[in-house]
Structure 1
Amino acid sequence: MKPTRRTVLIAATAALLPSSPAVAAPKSRAAALQPYASYWYPDSLPSGTPGTGITWRSLKSWRPTDDPDLAFNASTVPLAPRFTPAPVNATARAGQARIQSLVSFGPTAANPSQGSATADYYALTHWAYIDELVFWGGSSGEGLILAPNAPIVDAAHRHGVPVLGNVFLPPVAYGGQLRWTRDLVQQDAAGRYPLAERLVAVAEAYGFDGWFVNAETGGGDAALAAGMLGFMRELKSLARAAGQRVTWYDSMTVNGAVSWQGALNSQNEAFFQAADDMFVDFRWTAAKLTSSGQRAGQLGRSRYELWAGVDVEANGWNSSVNWDAIVPRDRAHVVSVGFYRPEWTRNHLPADGRAPSEFHAADDRFWTGRSLDPSRPDGTDSWRAPAVSVADRSTVTTVPFASVFNTGHGLRWYEDGKVTSDAPWNHLGLQDRLPSRRWVVHTEGQRPAVNFDFADAWCGGSSVLVEGELDEPAVVDVYATRLPVTVDTVVELTHRTDAGGVNVELAVAMAEPSGPGATPPYTYLPVNSVNSWQTVSVPLTGLTGTAHAIGIRLTATDGGPVRWRLGGLAVRNAPHTPGAPSGLRITAASGGDLRYAWNPASGDVRHYTLHRLLPDGTRRFLGATCQRAFFAGGLGPEQGERAARFELRAVGELYTTSAPATVTHAW
């Protein structure tokens, strides 16, 4: 344990130093149409006036009907069920240690609701190892209670990961005021805790999954601790009734003091019992974690409801961690893992070295390990990556299923292999259900490199690129699945060969592999090799039951290096196109800043795309979202037009698009 950990934490939490790209604060009423993620104080506001671009709000005064940005901030993707396939290595375990991830995706204030015009973003993709995501943030000068923005919740839910908002009561030395703690735990005349009800209502309206409560403002007493305990009990009761959850941070103790224990003990046991989980502060030792796990068992609780804090904010995979105290190799895991600020994988890169490919290379190293293949862990790597200890999960269980391998950010936007916007972007809600085990390659020869690539795509911002000397056939595991297969089931593969000669085969396994790390029992079906983007339909002739895995086998035909690109994969029984949205309208306009809203389309809708139809007949992509409201800024007349025309389409699960709804805006 680093003795300076508390110094690091306090320095960070003063403003939580969210190191995502700075977002310009509104400079005028025109820019104020831009919706941002929501944040509040419990009740009373600071004295003075807020800084530029900051809005002080009281949670006690919040009502969904009065929230002008709710339509932009509410998640629309339900939490998907997950399953655990056979592990890809002999060390990863199911049903033991879990992983919680505390991430600051952006600043507390001025964090755009629906992405922004930069590819420099923490586009988390390794959801398969995560059990709970905390939307970390908050500061005394902006707000203390944060609701996660919709793109993050949508992406997490698509992968079966619940997302918690953050309640942060900061240290006094960094602006924390004890009155805010008292505000949070105030009771009404009937003895109820109105802000507990309000927190549950916010999570329900915004579509996320509960709250992480971190009370670090010192100076309290036993009476305040009793109030906090009563608040937590009521919050947990209300949250459970609403299908939500609550995590407690090891900070305030039962006497009201802030004293980080680094263990489950008599000082914080009551708060653990009033929550679903507890994040154990970084002061833990091996002995403390062992005793904590035992104490949880004595309470009738799972030891894996304790997250042992692992601080990676400063050093990432170079952090010194006693892994055997948490996830030993030779016996049952002791407790679970709580990563503090794994967005280090982005933040440690130089400002001019944060292209998507560079970020994903670092993020893969963090989650998969130095080998970059979870089926082949590097035993000499001092960083025990999650893939080494924790079995991956998948949500690919229903037909139709499709993916264009969109990671949620990109340098351009592609549609049918063509660039329809050359502007960089991020919007995590557009992220696909991505392969959970990246990247497992089965080969007797040289292993090719497999990566998300941003130089070209079929749709969205990225594709999968396989490149290398294929001296032996190579099978790339793409998806672990539980997909029902009938006589009508077809797999559609959109792919392209960029260099070399390669024979492509679809691999489908109708059962689990013989053991951890073994190749699934694939059946191989031929796919035509092409040198330009093409979608090939492959009937699963002769296969019935449940598909457990889908992969690709590549065999070089001329012995030279190969570059092969996978742009899309779909599994369906019949084609499906959603109905068109209706009622497209502009709900607010100021200069070139416009807010749009519409009525939902019929059928299965994955997201909506908004285009501008220019006078010369070309279409320009403006953005996409899973919500039924959208903001576009900085627009203006083009090509001598007097009015701008916009088209909105629904995109289905199979990436088929509806007829457009249209609206015109006069300049």
Structure 2
Amino acid sequence: MPQPVPRPTRRTVVLAGAGAAAAVVGPAVAARAAEGAPGDLQPYASYWYPDSFPSGTPGPGITWRSLKDWRAEDDADLAFNAATVPLARRFTPVAVNRSARARQARIQALVSFEHTAGNPSQGAATADYYALTHWAYLDELVFWGGSAGEGLILAPNAPVVDAAHRNGVPVLGTVFLPPTAWGGELRWTRDLVRRDALGRFPLAVKLVEVAVAHGFDGWFVNAETDGGDAALGADMLAFVRDLKARSEAAGLRVTWYDAMTVGGSVGWQGALNERNRDFFRSADSMFVDFRWSGDRLAASGELAERLGRDRYELWAGVDVEAHGWDSSVDWDAIVPRDGAHIVSYGLYRPEWTRNQLPAGRTPGQFHAADDRFWTGRSLDPSQPDTDGWRAPATVVADRSTVDRLPFATSFNTGHGLRWYEGGEVTSAAEWNHLGLQDRLPGRRWVVRSGGRRPAVAFDFADAWRGGSSLLVDGDFDAPATVELHATRLPLSRSTVVELTHRADAGTVTVELAVALREPAEPGEPVPYTYIPAGTLRAGGSGWTTATLRLNALSGTVRSLGVRLTAEGRATWRLGALAVRDTAAARRPGAPARLRVTASATGDAGTSLRFAWRRAPGAVRHYELHRVLPGGSRRFLGGTCGNAFFVPALKPEGGERAARFEIRAVDELYTASAPASTVHHW
């Protein structure tokens, strides 16, 4: 067995650079089931060593793999790990406050969603998950991980990539060569940059093949194993140049981490300088280690420009893993309030918002913390805080991808306590799967009122579809306008907006807020026009869908929201919002050839792998149901791909066989006719 690596103190983690913490992201994963048990079919996110393995044998639940030997056609889990949602284009509306800037600093996030090994490919049966939703402020997501005992090269799993792409955010996998204090071995660096007989870099080819096959956007290269010499430094630089050239041809990108220098040794510079500038010039961007200072960042930005590069292609590392919004950061060295931004910044481990909560945390508690992290203490980006935490909403202008019809959202955050369809529970099990996440309001939460401000939040106690809905609750003494989506939606005479909503307390008069132009200046209110959408009373008919015609308006919808009027205490729930042209509505085509591709039975039940032929036309995702004795359907899960894994199924009601159905779901959540199959017990 490999010798255990001693766990350093927090101080040594920071001093060793960001990559060091990736080596230990929590306790060892649970052992996988014995041969022939259902757990053997569970697909996991892909990870590899460049070539050679550590001494000894892998720990429980860990499989050692060589990237050199990987081939897409031999990867039995690739269908479960391949993202399918294309990277959406984004636009930048007029900023909601005067401090947020466009075309200056950008934000990168390094997130560890799970362990390197044992990270399920398609979500899991728990709502306790880092369900990132504040995509509007991100420009790059790094799927952070890798460790000496599990694997060093980590490919993002499909749900994360699909959710990010839906919001226009590229996702990078991680190449992590750990410090020797974390079990790193210099031979792994040499494995990565080894040339073939013709002088080529085979693993640069493999990295591009992996990214293309898995559907993500490139690599974050972090070489932190010390002991190298000038020859190794030259090989690494040549490798990065080759990887960049191949990545550029494939539409991918490369980010370099400030660790290894051109001399081959590891020396975290905390700056762009002569020891790492050739790596920066050979990549698309560089993460600047935490050792930066105001003077170093200023000099780095100037050097980037002298090299003919954009200073905002430098990400100054901001470590929030331990203290979140209480982290001590010299913000003026990166994003001063009274001048142009110096460089961009990279948030290291923002999943602190989940991890800092106590055991038994709920999705609602997580989102309350996450909203505070990204928006600020005010929880309203139109009223930015001026305290010590400089929340992203106060620094960078938000972006949106809502630029074409049809558009719909059910305010599904990608995890939940149950699954709902049409307001009814079709699965009582907890779940998470970010690929099923909707496009959510980017500005959380802009509320304009002449009176008391109601609370706005995602709520998991009830939903119209998915796992959550939007809840507005307060003691009203004046109308309140809640801004929802920045848009670029073209209007026609057949365009309608549908609101599916209900009152849970009090009586609420609802109006749709539509803006056909943006504010003249950042920080000014959106100029809305209001369209009546009905008056709802608690205890009434439950969920109601109001269909509102916009044929009195023309042009392009720039923003959507709602105005609520009530007297005293009131609670209003929005389950879905859709904008569509009635002339274009049609049911999506159905998938075909649903089949069980593998099964395994153990004490917990039978696990199945499913596959099907993709439906024709545009598909948002697929939903798999089990048809129960008596004809009702139970939701088993959904995915954007065309393969799915279901664990631990058992016969019900004395059935001899179980029937399953797969449906394609379009952007308006209209489901196709099903394809079905039967599994005999």
TM-score normalised by the chain length of structure 2: 0.95
**What is the CA distance between 1:19 and its match in structure 2?**
4.9
Q: Choose which of 658, 663, 676 in structure 2 pairs with 1:644.
A: 658
Equivalent residue, structure 2, for 1:329: 337
Which residue type is aligned with residue 630 of structure 2? D
Equivalent residue, structure 2, for 1:255: 263
Equivalent residue, structure 1, for 2:391: 385
Distance in 2 separating the partners of 1:11 and 1:306: 15
Matched position secondary structure for 2:535: coil
Matched position secondary structure for 1:181: helix
Range with greater deviation from structure 2 (522-531 or 84-93): 522-531
Equivalent residue, structure 1, for 2:575: 567
The one-character-per-residue Cα deviations of 1:546-566 (angstroms, maximum 9, x if unpaired) are 11000101011xx21110011
**What is the CA distance between 1:545 and its match in structure 2?**
1.1
Matched position secondary structure for 1:105: coil
Which residue type is aligned with residue 181 of structure 2? A
Q: Does 2:668 align with 1:660?
A: no
Equivalent residue, structure 2, for 1:98: 106
Equivalent residue, structure 2, for 1:81: 89
Q: Does 2:372 align with 1:358?
A: no
Distance in 1 separating the partners of 2:627 and 2:373: 43
**What is the CA distance between 1:14 and its match in structure 2?**
6.2
* Pairing 1:235-254 to 2, within 5 Å after superposition: 235-254=243-262
Equivalent residue, structure 2, for 1:485: 491
Equivalent residue, structure 2, for 1:427: 433
Q: What is the root-mean-square deviation of aligned Cα atoms in Å?
A: 1.5
**What is the CA distance between 1:11 and its match in structure 2?**
9.9
Equivalent residue, structure 1, for 2:230: 222
Which residue type is aligned with residue 440 of structure 1? V
Equivalent residue, structure 1, for 2:68: 60
Q: Choose which of 372, 383, 398 in structure 1 pairs with 2:379.
A: 372
Distance in 2 separating the partners of 1:253 and 1:480: 43
Q: Residues 178 and 73 from structure 1, CA distance in 2 versus in 1: closer, same or farther, beyond 3 angstroms?
A: same
Matched position secondary structure for 2:385: coil
Q: Choose which of 279, 283, 286 in structure 2 pairs with 1:278.
A: 286
Distance in 2 separating the partners of 1:29 and 1:104: 30
The one-character-per-residue Cα deviations of 1:327-349 (angstroms, maximum 9, x if unpaired) are 00000000001100000000111
**What is the CA distance between 1:192 and its match in structure 2?**
1.1
Q: Residues 578 and 428 from structure 1, CA distance in 2 versus in 1: closer, same or farther, beyond 3 angstroms?
A: same
Distance in 1 separating the partners of 2:143 and 2:359: 23
Structure 2: tracts of 5 or more residues without a match: 1-8
Q: Choose which of 556, 562, 566 in structure 2 pairs with 1:552.
A: 562
Matched position secondary structure for 1:4: helix
Equivalent residue, structure 2, for 1:529: 535
CA contact (8 A) 1:20 1:121 kept: no
Range with greater deviation from structure 2 (11-20 or 391-400): 11-20
Q: Residues 362 and 5 from structure 1, CA distance in 2 versus in 1: closer, same or farther, beyond 3 angstroms?
A: farther
Equivalent residue, structure 2, for 1:576: 586
Q: Does 2:232 align with 1:232?
A: no
Distance in 2 separating the partners of 1:3 and 1:285: 20
Which residue type is aligned with residue 55 of structure 1? T
**What is the CA distance between 1:54 and its match in structure 2?**
0.8
**What is the CA distance between 1:10 and its match in structure 2?**
6.9
Equivalent residue, structure 2, for 1:152: 160
CA contact (8 A) 1:18 1:105 kept: no
Distance in 2 separating the partners of 1:256 and 1:636: 57
Distance in 2 separating the partners of 1:233 and 1:26: 42
Distance in 2 separating the partners of 1:160 and 1:514: 26
Which residue type is aligned with residue 597 of structure 1? A
Distance in 1 separating the partners of 2:529 and 2:614: 40
CA contact (8 A) 1:364 1:372 kept: yes
Q: Residues 48 and 15 from structure 1, CA distance in 2 versus in 1: closer, same or farther, beyond 3 angstroms?
A: farther
CA contact (8 A) 1:14 1:139 kept: no
Q: Does 2:217 align with 1:209?
A: yes
Distance in 1 separating the partners of 2:574 and 2:26: 33
Q: Choose which of 265, 274, 287 in structure 2 pairs with 1:266.
A: 274
CA contact (8 A) 1:21 1:106 kept: no
* Pairing 1:176-215 to 2, within 5 Å after superposition: 176-215=184-223
Range with greater deviation from structure 2 (535-544 or 23-32): 23-32
**What is the CA distance between 1:15 and its match in structure 2?**
5.7
CA contact (8 A) 2:19 2:224 kept: no
Q: Choose which of 458, 463, 466 in structure 2 pairs with 1:457.
A: 463
Distance in 2 separating the partners of 1:662 and 1:393: 40
Equivalent residue, structure 2, for 1:319: 327
Structure 1: tracts of 5 or more residues without a match: none
The one-character-per-residue Cα deviations of 1:338-364 (angstroms, maximum 9, x if unpaired) are 100000000111112x20000001100
Equivalent residue, structure 2, for 1:469: 475
Q: Residues 648 and 9 from structure 1, CA distance in 2 versus in 1: closer, same or farther, beyond 3 angstroms?
A: farther
Matched position secondary structure for 2:612: strand
**What is the CA distance between 1:144 and its match in structure 2?**
0.2
* Pairing 1:100-179 to 2, within 5 Å after superposition: 100-179=108-187
Q: Choose which of 52, 57, 70 in structure 2 pairs with 1:44.
A: 52
Which residue type is aligned with residue 560 of structure 1? G
Which residue type is aligned with residue 365 of structure 2? E
Q: Choose which of 499, 518, 525 in structure 2 pairs with 1:512.
A: 518
Equivalent residue, structure 2, for 1:543: 553
The one-character-per-residue Cα deviations of 1:271-319 (angstroms, maximum 9, x if unpaired) are 1011000000000000000000000010010110000000000000000
The one-character-per-residue Cα deviations of 1:143-176 (angstroms, maximum 9, x if unpaired) are 0000000000000000000000000000112211
Distance in 2 separating the partners of 1:9 and 1:587: 45
Matched position secondary structure for 1:112: coil
**What is the CA distance between 1:43 and its match in structure 2?**
1.0
Q: Residues 11 and 393 from structure 1, CA distance in 2 versus in 1: closer, same or farther, beyond 3 angstroms?
A: closer
Distance in 1 separating the partners of 2:68 and 2:623: 36
CA contact (8 A) 2:594 2:613 kept: yes
* Pairing 1:556-635 to 2, within 5 Å after superposition: 556=566, 559-574=567-582, 575-591=585-601, 592-635=606-649
The one-character-per-residue Cα deviations of 1:434-479 (angstroms, maximum 9, x if unpaired) are 1111110111111110000000000000000001012111111100
Aligned residues: 662
Distance in 2 separating the partners of 1:549 and 1:470: 24
**What is the CA distance between 1:29 and its match in structure 2?**
2.9
Which residue type is aligned with residue 473 of structure 1? P
Distance in 2 separating the partners of 1:406 and 1:502: 23
